[in-house]
């Protein structure tokens, strides 16, 4: 496994149905929570399917996400977190 995201680099995680990310279709999880650990485990298991949204003025750290079978997993990373190579979301 070339890319593994570390728990200490994750500020927030999301799991839900693909679409609106306001929380109406899924849930956000905070560090130290079981929910975040679960999303992290699932993303790390499928890093070959992940895409990355680069940091912007809005999101200060990268976001690594997987969209699969109508579901979205997302990890909001701290600024400067190393994720190895993850292709940018188009």
**Interface with Zn ion, residue 19, by CB under 5 A:** no
Contacts of 3 (CB under 8 A, 6+ apart): 44, 47, 50, 83, 84, 85, 86
**Interface with Zn ion, residue 24, by CB under 5 A:** yes
d(CA 36, CA 28): 8
In whole angstroms, the minimum distance from the beta carbon of 14 to Zn ion comes to 12
In whole angstroms, the minimum distance from the beta carbon of 17 to Zn ion comes to 10
**Interface with Zn ion, residue 58, by CB under 5 A:** no
d(CA 73, CA 77): 13
**Interface with Zn ion, residue 27, by CB under 5 A:** no
Residues forming the site for Zn ion (CB under 5 A)? 20, 22, 24
């Amino acid at each position: 496994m070339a890319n593994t995201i570390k728990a200490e680099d994750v500020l927030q995680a999301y799991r839900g149905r693909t679409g609106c990310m306001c929380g109406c279709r899924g849930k956000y999880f905070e560090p130290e929570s079981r929910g975040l650990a679960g999303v992290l485990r699932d993303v790390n298991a499928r890093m070959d399917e992940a895409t990355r949204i680069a940091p912007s003025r809005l999101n200060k750290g990268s976001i690594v996400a997987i969209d699969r079978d109508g579901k979205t997993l997302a990890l909001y990373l701290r600024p400067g977190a190393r994720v190895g190579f993850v292709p940018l979301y188009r």
